[in-house]
A and B are shown apart, each in its own frame.
Chain A
Amino acid sequence: MTAVTPAPPSTATPAAPADAPPPRRPGGRSRLRAAAGFAFGAALLFAVAPLALSDFRLALLAKYLCVAMVAVGIGIAWGRGGMLTLGQGVFFGLGGYAMAMHLKLADAGPGGMPDFMQLYGQLDELPVWWRPFASPWFALPATVLLPMAVAFGLGSLVFRRRVRGAYFAILSQALAAAMVILLIGQQGTTGGTNGLTDIQGFFGYDLDDPVNQRMVYFIIAGVLLALLALARQLIHSRYGELLVAVRDSEERVRFLGYDPASVKLVAYVVAAGMAGLAGALFVPAVGIISPALIGIVPSIEFVIGVAVGGRATLLGPVLGAVAVAWARTALSERFPGTWTYLQGLLFVVVVAFLPGGLASLWALARRRDADSASRRRGWFPTARRRAERAEVPTA
């Protein structure tokens, strides 16, 4: 078998005369813009939000940012890779449960057992599969690696067999349903529908203390920024181009000699890892992980946030996830009786009138400007428009 390996794009720049202006590096300006955006985001999350928000609102923001981390992953897998994953709750849950199990064991102290096990399980000793989670050296990596391993296992089976589109969506959703049934059925060892609640400490720090809650928020904000940077690297790499190519025409990429299954697998596994990390950080921020957070409905809600924000962009999923979660809180506080209708209306409006999500508002405004400017100058705008359209997935 002869795999066609396309030549890497030439990175060598022609030698420039010493007195000539430096050549414009491709992507240099966009990198500067990204770094400025990153700094702006950091200032917003680390300076403005903690000063402007009360402890309670800041804790809510921490929760939204966890959802945003899942959204970054979905943005890669769905927006860039075209894999509509309706089961991110599974990975979120794996990360969350891994972290919660460790924190429950840490609360119980050495040799202790979580409170609910005696209540519901009447167990005399810790189940074998709980034991490794007593060690932070196992539990912490597990919050990310466990979801990634599950995604790898599932992905290698599914993508190789060319399961895609609606079939993949259904499969991922079935996984979420199965996981919920499993957790509820094993009440004695998993806490059942209650989930794991009443988490007191976070690596020795008392979670009841508002100062420590603030620390958890800062960690979450930092991790989200790091994930965004990672996602940006990935999207702008050669792999990122390949992923979009697979999304738009898997067959064509296969004819070029690539293996689309591996390309998709990487994106799926990365998204799972991000969801796992989000779940792990959700636990100290909110103090609970339960089947209600990882089943079909929350899994769909993750995707809704991404769709509202704009799935194919870097920031769209984050903004969408935070906006949807914030709207949920704000609407339900203001209109406790009717907020679900308003939320539904919001989704309908966005999907019907802004198929590209909130992020496309920005592109739309820019295009208007560009169009009117070019009309004045008599330029031909279609090329630019076509270039922008490439950002919006076809399927």
Chain B
Amino acid sequence: MSLLWGRRILAGAMTLVAAAAMTACGSKTSDEGGAAGVTADVSGDTVKVGLLNSLSGTMAISEVTVRDSIMLAVEEINAAGGVLGKKIQPVGEDGASDWPTFAEKAEKLISEDRVAAVFGCWTSASRKAVKPVFEKNKALLFYPVQYEGLEQSPYIFYTGATTNQQIVPGLDYLKAQGTKSVYLVGSDYVFPRTANKIIKAYAAANGMTVVGEDYAPLGSTEFGTIVNKVKSSGANAVFNTLNGDSNVAFFKEYKSAGLTAAAMPVVSVSIAEEEVKGIGTQYLEGQLTAWNYYQTTPGAANSKFVAAYKAKYGADKPTSDPMEAAYVSVHLWKAMVEKAGAFDVEKVRGASDGITFDAPEGLVTVDGKTQHIAKTARIGKIGADGLITEVWNSGKPVAPDPYLRTYPWASGLS
């Protein structure tokens, strides 16, 4: 009898399962507008914005500084009366250096907290993970880090450099210096691999040779072999797309192998002031970096930014390019909202074209079509004091071209 009962309960449960699954059938992919966007909650006298950065894991060291500088911008705006008369209420989440976690937290910020915009993400992998979440919910992300280009989401504003504002000027600089051969060293993930594809296409069209290309796993500290290969290659320069801790090991090995910035300069695209401090200036002095902003960049806007940052977080804290881009992104969002007169995402996007901001890096302008911003490219040299001084700049802001459509040599890339 008991067995019979067991079976009945089982059968009942299975029917329930089947019934539940049958009733839950929604729109097909072919349907139009299956999902409606979640609208931000702006009913109160505050407006929530999401802060999505890694506060734990390998990326925390870099992303915490971005969080700090976003908070600085939020406080400045609130002190000046907020946005459309509403104070900004930041909601922080930890992406934990884990891409699926970024997607989960993005969804939480949008659908539970109903924020008006989200600021954050660093690695390309985390951006790729959250991109569908923002597109699905028709919500806004401001992404503050230089990246590999080849992307243009209608729901992301890219306030860091795309390739033609950082890597291409870096290569132009090397070419002008008479560099004939380069060696490519990078971490094994999407940004370096894509960047190196672009570099190889550039080199082929500009009479440079790429004499070697090596990738180290993220977080790797074994650079003996790679540095030996670099040394024996006799390249004129090294293009370095290593990320994080790997740079420490790479530059120590580089110096101990007897390689110098004078004989074989290294151009890095992921080493900013914060990282210089971590790696040690004795290993980096004289090496080159490509960015859009340095702490030493002249101008009243930058003096104000640096002073405010140091007053809030400590005199020994440097400011860097991604921090500046994150700071700028909050101010740009404010300007867009005020031009649109509403927090509504589509209205904000519509109002974005031509918005300018007197940023620490100089005047920046939003390009409404690509949702990137025009930025001045700058090559800098790392000094003994850990600061980076500009040795070249593009003179005027470079218009963003994420797919490199205006460069004939890049036609095969996308």
Contact of B94 among A122, A192, A332 (CB under 8 A): A332
Please measure, in the bound complex, the distance between the C-alpha atom of A187 and the C-alpha atom of B125, giving whole angstroms: 12
CB distance from A116 to the nearest CB of B (A): 8
Task: Out of A36, A219, A290, A337, name the residue touching B21 (CB < 8 Å).
Answer: A219
Indicate which residue in A25, A181, A211, A292 contacts B26 across the interface (CB closer than 8 Å): A211
Contacts of B13 in A (CB 8 A): 38-39, 42-43, 225
A214 to B103 alpha-carbon distance, docked (Å)? 18
Output the nearest chain A residue to B18 by Cβ-Cβ distance: A222
**Interface stretch of the complex, out of B185-193, B226-234, B296-304:** B185-193
Q: Which of B17, B125, B132, B194 interacts with A218 by CB under 8 Å? A: B17
A290 touching B112 by the CB < 8 A rule? no
A290 touches B94 (CB 8 A): no
CB contacts under 8 Å to B, within A4-28, are 22, 25, 28
Smallest Cβ-Cβ distance to B10: which chain A residue = A35
* Chain A 204-229 interface 0/1 with B at a Cβ cutoff of 8 Å (1 = within): 11101111101100110110010000
A194 in contact with B24 (CB, 8 Å):
no
B405 proximity list for chain A (CB < 8 A): none
Residues of chain B with a CB closer than 8 A to A198's CB: 128, 131-132
Inter-chain contacts of B6 with A (CB < 8 A): 31-32, 34-36
Provided the pairs A54-B111, A59-B107 are in contact, do residues A197 and B27 lie with their beta carbons within 8 angstroms? no
B28 contacts which chain A residues (CB < 8 A)?
Answer: 204-206
Contact A39 to B9, CB < 8 A, known contacts A120-B190, A120-B194, A187-B190? yes
Considering only CB atoms, which chain A residue lies closest to B131 in the complex?
A198
B29 within 8 A of A: yes
Does A46 sit within 8 A of B, measured CB to CB?
Answer: yes
Chain A residue nearest to B111 (CB atoms) is A56
Asked if A209 and B55 sit within 8 Å, CB to CB, the answer is: no
Residues of B contacting A199 in the complex (Cβ-Cβ under 8 angstroms): 132
The answer to whether the Cβ of B16 comes within 8 Å of any Cβ in the partner chain is yes
Query: A336 and B112 in contact (CB under 8 A), knowing A198-B128, A209-B27, A222-B21?
Result: no
* Interface status of B43 (Cβ within 8 A of chain A): no
Q: How far is the CB of A38 from the nearest CB of chain B, in Å? A: 6
Contact of B55 among A63, A181, A337 (CB under 8 A): A337
Whether A288 touches B103, Cβ cut-off 8 Å, given contacts A32-B5, A205-B26, is yes
Q: In the bound complex, how far is the Cα of B54 from the Cα of A340, in angstroms?
A: 12
- How far does the Cβ of A344 sit from chain B's closest Cβ, in whole Å? 11
A212 to B20 Cα, complex, angstroms: 12
Task: Please judge, given known A-B contacts A43-B16, A215-B25, A292-B100, whether A197 and B129 are in contact too, CB under 8 Å.
Answer: yes
Contact in complex: A28, B25 (CB < 8 Å): no
Q: Which residues of B contact A181 (CB under 8 A)?
A: 188, 217
Quick one: which of B7, B104, B112, B136 has the most chain A CB within 10 A?
B104
Cβ B100 vs Cβ A286 within 8 A: yes
The answer to whether A288 and B21 touch (CB under 8 A), given A54-B111, A192-B190, A199-B132, is: no
Verify if A156 is at the interface (C-beta below 8 Å from B).
Answer: no
Given contacts A29-B2, A193-B190, A288-B100, contact A46 B17 (CB under 8 A): yes
CB <8 Å contact, B9 and A38: yes
Q: Is B209 part of the contact surface with A, judged by Cβ < 8 Å? A: no
Chain A neighbourhood of B25, CB < 8 A: 205, 211-212, 215
Scan residues 81-105 of chain B and give those whose CB is less than 8 A from a CB of chain A: 92-94, 96, 98-101, 103-105
Chain A residues with CB under 8 A of B133: 287
**B-chain residues with CB within 8 Å of residue A204 when the two chains form the complex:** 28-30
Q: List 26 A-B contacts (CB under 8 A).
A: A22-B1, A32-B2, A43-B13, A43-B16, A46-B16, A56-B108, A120-B194, A184-B188, A193-B188, A193-B218, A194-B128, A197-B128, A199-B132, A204-B30, A205-B25, A205-B29, A206-B31, A208-B136, A212-B34, A214-B24, A215-B21, A215-B26, A218-B17, A218-B24, A288-B100, A336-B55
3 cross-chain pairs, A with B, having the tightest CB-CB distances, nearest first: A211-B26, A35-B6, A208-B35
Interfacial residues, chain A to chain B (CB-CB below 8 A)? 22, 25, 28-29, 31-32, 34-36, 38-39, 42-43, 46-47, 50, 54-56, 59-60, 63, 118-120, 122, 181, 184-185, 187, 192-195, 197-201, 204-206, 208-212, 214-215, 218-219, 221-222, 225, 286-288, 290, 292-293, 329, 332-333, 336-337, 339-340
Additional pairs, 9, CB under 8 Å, beyond known A212-B27, A333-B108: A36-B9, A42-B13, A55-B111, A185-B215, A193-B124, A206-B34, A212-B26, A214-B24, A340-B56
